Structure formats: C-alpha cells, structure tokens
Amino acid sequence: MSYIPQPRTTMLGRDPSSVPLEDIDVSQAALFHSNTMWGFFDRLRKEDPIHYCKDSEFGPFWSVTKFDDIMAVEGNPEVFSSEPAISLQDPDEELNVSMFIAMDEPKHGDQRRTVQGAVAPRNLANMEELIRERAGAILDALPVGETFNWVEKVSVELTTQMLATLLDFPQENRHKLTYWSDVATQVPGPGSICATVSERNQILIGECVPAFMGMWMERAASEPRFDLISMMAHGEATKNMAQERPMEFLGNILLLIIGGNDTTRNSISGSVLFLNENPGEYAKLKANPDLITNMVPEIIRYQTPVIHMRRTATRDFSLKGKDIKKGDKVVMWYVSGNRDEEAIDRPYDFIIDREKPRHHLAFGFGIHRCMGNRLAEMQLRVVWEEILKRFDKIELAGDLVRANSNLVKGYTELPVRVQPL
Ligand code: HEM
C-alpha cells in the first residue's frame, strides 16, 4: 500500500501517554504501517472507550474501542447504518459503486442470501481437496535454501487461486483478480498502483466490468452452477443487476474479490510471523498437529486483518453517555476490541491452544458478519496441514514490511527461508 496520508498532527513517534486525550487520532495509517497503534488503543479503552476525534484526514469521527461496545454498535443496525460507506474514507463521487456490505436491510439480506450458498459447508467440502492440491503444489515449488518473500510466493498465490476457483474465473488470468482488488483499494496518487482517479476508473470500468459481464452472460445462459457468478446471475434478487444496475454489479464483484483477498492473504502471512515470534507455540504445534484447528481462529484474532469498519448514525443516540449525533461517523476498531483484556484473557499473547479461540471480532458481528469466515478458516487449516507435512520450519529471514493502511492490517514483505523435514 503506497498511499501516505497527510495528518494534521502526526501520532507517529509520539508516546501515547503524552498526547492530550482529545488530540488522539487513531485513523493515521502511519500508526499501522509502523505497528505503533497499540498504546493509543490501550489508552482509549482505559480512559475514553467511546472517543471523539474532532479533526482528522477523514473529518471528525467517533472511535469505539472495547469488545462489548463494538458488539452493541454492530447489533443495532437501525441506528448504526452501513450506508453510505463502511470505511472511514467516504465513497468516491466519481466511482459510486455499491456493494451489499455497505447496504442496510432489506436489500443487504436479499443480496447476501443469493451468494452465501457458494460458501456453505457442502460447497466448502467440495472445494477443500482442490485447495489442498493447489496449496501442496505452491509449497512444493518453493526455493529451498533461498530467502524469498512469503507474501508473494505463498499468501498471494494461494488466495488468488482460491478466489479464481470460487468465481470459476480462468486460472491463467487469476493475477488480474489481485490487480483489480489492488486498483480498487489503493487510493490513487503518486507511487500508488494508479496515478489518477480517472486511470483507476478506466481500469475498473474498461477491464474489470467487461470481463465479468462476459462471464455473467455465459453463466446466465447456462444451467445454474456453484460458483459465485452463476449464483448471482440466477438469484432472484441479483439476476437483473448486471444490466439494470451496473455500478451495483461492479460493487458486488469487487466485494467478493476484495473480501477474499487481502484478509486471508494477511492471515496466512501473519501465521508465519506469529509462530516465529513465539517459538514455544511453534514447538507445541509440531508436537501436536491436531492443534491446527484451534490455532486458526487464534491466528485470525491475533492478525485482525480488517482494522476497522465504520457505521453512520441514522439519528441522535447516546452510547455509554456519549452523545452521538445523526450523521456522525462511528468507527469500530476491531484491532482494539481483539486486545480488550476485559473480553479476552491475555489478549496480547498468541496462544494456539487458547480456550474459546473463536471469541473474537475479526469477522465482525451481527447481520454483516463475514460471509467467507468458514472458507478463510478452511484455507488456513489446509495450508498449515500441508506445511507441516513438508517443512521442519518456515524461518523469518529479514525485515518485514507492513501495509500502509488504516483498513487492511497486513504485510507487503515477509522474507523467509524454508527448512524441509
Ligand atoms: C481471515 C479472513 C477474513 C476476515 C478477517 C474477514 C473479515 C470481514 C469483516 C470484518 C467483515 C465485515 C463484518 C461486519 O461488518 O460485521 C467481512 C464481511 C464480508 N466478508 Fe470477510 N473476511 C475474511 C475472509 C473473507 C473471504 C474469504 C470472503 C470470500 C467470500 C469474504 C467475504 C465477505 C463478504 C461478502 C462480506 C460482506 C458481508 C455482509 O455485508 O453481509 N471474507 N469480512
């Protein structure tokens, strides 16, 4: 991620306890890029769990930082709406795509129901062998004895192949999925994947839409199948979308690509990092590979690849005594909720045999809770099952680089070396 925000007062390099409470601005991407956000969130949870930031690059916003308060906001979608946007950044006027993650009921539910069968347990079971084969092939091709970037060679490769499978998108063109996801999520500017907004829109409307439109037409004309495009092309709430609401069509396609891309990718990368940082846990895993099932949700909690989701107040509302006004931005910081010591025992520790590892907020909560959660968990489980069959250790072999974003918590570089069994 090469977008560098221009904060008013930078939090970077500041001691969290020295910044006046009212000046704290946790929206600054530099905090996540440098992994120095933790102290700010610790302070907010303790001193001002529903915190108002009066001035930021994204305008004023409320921060919700504790586990239970995040659930309370997510559990009240009538007051805390997902429209018009679910990230701090307001929607782009020029490219007004709409996706069901950023819709309220009843439209959200109608569209979600249409596609969720693709990730239902039966379909996942069918997909597992394919994912296992592909994971195995990727791991077998790794350059033993060399230092390489795990993000690029494993995490990106595997998630992209999985996405192509899910969409029944031609495997040979699968890198376009990653490319379009990056084009859609990076803010255009110097050094970014697109220099200008119009270049970005040209790629999405000129390349991505026609590619999926062609697939949509082909699926609509064929018998229903179990890929996401076919499901949408035949689903009652979505079948007229491509022709009648092209921006909604683009939005939902992008949602599926983005939703399944950065998230799982960064959890796979994170797992390697956490096991290196916690050699005792790595030893536990090797002694007892059955722990993988328990480790997977712990990896996802510890990573929390989606840093925040935003809601917008539909009316004045008092949340824990704070007066939220109609139209205010309310940001749920999952990254903070998942380190809340009142909800999670020893939250800063990575414990692969933790009790109740699924008790976390990385997938959100309520009606918008992640649709791909079981798919993501299955992928991580399969990857680790295949890693343990082949390698004694995946060893960190250089400095990692973190994503420069306040939405996606992840890595661009994770240099490693693999030691075969
Ligand atoms: C570790 C991996 C993943 C994480 C941490 C994650 C996280 C999230 C989060 C935080 C939300 C918003 C939840 C809310 O607002 O309450 C979400 C929504 C969503 N995710 Fe995921 N996700 C992951 C993988 C995937 C995958 C593999 C897919 C592919 C199908 C996917 C598809 C979606 C969709 C479609 C939504 C929108 C759901 C709705 O609005 O009803 N996600 N995800």
pLDDT in tens, 7-65: 578 999 999 999 999 999 999 999 999 999 999 999 999 999 999 999 999 999 999 99
- Provide the percentage of residues in the chain whose pLDDT is more than 70: 97
**pLDDT average, residue stretch 78-105:** 87
How many angstroms separate the alpha carbon of residue 393 from the centre of ligand 1? Answer: 30
Q: Could you tell me if the CB of 338 is within 6 A of ligand 1?
A: no
What's the rounded Cα separation, in Å, for the pair 105 and 146? 51
- Helix axis angle, 246-259 relative to 157-167, nearest 10°? 140
Question: What does R_g of the chain's alpha carbons equal in angstroms?
Answer: 21
Q: Give the containing element (helix H, strand E) for 58.
A: none
- What pLDDT does residue 21 have? 96
Cβ-based neighbour number of residue 381 at 10 Å: 18
Q: How confident is the model at residue 137 (pLDDT cuts 50, 70, 90)?
A: very high
What's the rounded Cα separation, in Å, for the pair 102 and 368? 9
Q: What is the mean pLDDT of the chain?
A: 92
What's the rounded Cα separation, in Å, for the pair 411 and 33? 9
Strand partners, 418: 394
Q: How confident is the model at residue 328 (pLDDT cuts 50, 70, 90)?
A: very high
How many angstroms separate the alpha carbon of residue 417 from the centre of ligand 1? Answer: 31
What's the rounded Cα separation, in Å, for the pair 307 and 33? 12
Longest CA pairwise span in the chain (Å): 63
**pLDDT average, residue stretch 406-411:** 93
What's the rounded Cα separation, in Å, for the pair 402 and 316? 38
Copy the structure tokens of residue 81.
């709406």
Copy the structure tokens of residue 262.
């950065």
Instruction: Calculate the CA 55 to chain-centre distance.
Output: 26
Per the CB < 8 A criterion, the answer to whether 388 and 325 are in contact is no
Q: Could you tell me if the CB of 335 is within 6 A of ligand 1?
A: no
Please state the atom number of ligand 1 nearest to the C-alpha of residue 100.
40
Q: Could you tell me if the CB of 299 is within 6 A of ligand 1?
A: no
Q: Does the pLDDT of residue 5 top 70, yes or no?
A: no
| Residues 406, 409, 410: CA angle, nearest 5 degrees | 135
Q: Does the pLDDT of residue 2 top 70, yes or no?
A: no
Q: Could you tell me if the CB of 411 is within 6 A of ligand 1?
A: no
- What pLDDT does residue 332 have? 98
Per the CB < 8 A criterion, the answer to whether 319 and 73 are in contact is yes
Copy the structure tokens of residue 317.
């509302």
Copy the structure tokens of residue 279.
């050699």
Taking CA atoms, 7 is separated from 10, 16, 59, 163, 236, in Å, by: 6, 16, 11, 35, 45
Q: Does the pLDDT of residue 92 top 80, yes or no?
A: no
Q: Could you tell me if the CB of 372 is within 6 A of ligand 1?
A: yes
Per the CB < 8 A criterion, the answer to whether 366 and 77 are in contact is yes
What's the rounded Cα separation, in Å, for the pair 97 and 201? 11
pTM of the model: 0.93
- What pLDDT does residue 60 have? 97
**pLDDT average, residue stretch 266-281:** 98
Q: Could you tell me if the CB of 131 is within 6 A of ligand 1?
A: no
What's the rounded Cα separation, in Å, for the pair 188 and 184? 9
Asked which of 160-174, 239-253, 396-410 is least confident by mean pLDDT, the reply is: 239-253
Q: Could you tell me if the CB of 264 is within 6 A of ligand 1?
A: yes
- What pLDDT does residue 362 have? 98
- What pLDDT does residue 193 have? 87
- Residue with the smallest CA separation from ligand 1 atom 7 is 363
**pLDDT average, residue stretch 328-357:** 98
How many angstroms separate the alpha carbon of residue 264 from the centre of ligand 1? Answer: 10
Beta strands in 65-113 (DSSP E): 80-81
> Where are the domains positioned within the chain?
16-420
Please state the atom number of ligand 1 nearest to the C-alpha of residue 309.
15
Give the CATH H-level superfamily of domain 16-420: Cytochrome P450 (1.10.630.10)
How many angstroms separate the alpha carbon of residue 315 from the centre of ligand 1? Answer: 27
Asked which of 154-158, 329-333, 358-362 is least confident by mean pLDDT, the reply is: 154-158
**pLDDT average, residue stretch 360-368:** 98
The pair phi, psi for residue 412, each rounded to 5°, is: -105, -25
Q: Give the containing element (helix H, strand E) for 183.
A: helix 175-185
Per the CB < 8 A criterion, the answer to whether 162 and 264 are in contact is yes
Q: Could you tell me if the CB of 259 is within 6 A of ligand 1?
A: yes
- What pLDDT does residue 114 have? 80
Q: Could you tell me if the CB of 369 is within 6 A of ligand 1?
A: yes
Output 68 or 236, whichever has higher pLDDT. Answer: 68
What's the rounded Cα separation, in Å, for the pair 214 and 229? 11
Please state the atom number of ligand 1 nearest to the C-alpha of residue 377.
1
**pLDDT average, residue stretch 249-267:** 87
Under DSSP, is residue 391 helix (H, G, I), strand (E, B) or coil? Answer: strand
How many angstroms separate the alpha carbon of residue 252 from the centre of ligand 1? Answer: 13
- What pLDDT does residue 1 have? 40
Q: Could you tell me if the CB of 112 is within 6 A of ligand 1?
A: yes
- What pLDDT does residue 253 have? 85
Per the CB < 8 A criterion, the answer to whether 86 and 103 are in contact is no
Asked which of 53-67, 127-141, 297-311 is least confident by mean pLDDT, the reply is: 127-141
- Residue 209's contacts (CB-CB under 8 Å, 6 or more residues apart) are 246, 249, 250
**pLDDT average, residue stretch 107-134:** 84
Q: Give the containing element (helix H, strand E) for 225.
A: none
Copy the structure tokens of residue 26.
């946790």
- What pLDDT does residue 93 have? 67
Q: Could you tell me if the CB of 101 is within 6 A of ligand 1?
A: yes
Q: Does the pLDDT of residue 359 top 80, yes or no?
A: yes
- Helix axis angle, 175-185 relative to 157-167, nearest 10°? 100
Output 223 or 253, whichever has higher pLDDT. Answer: 223
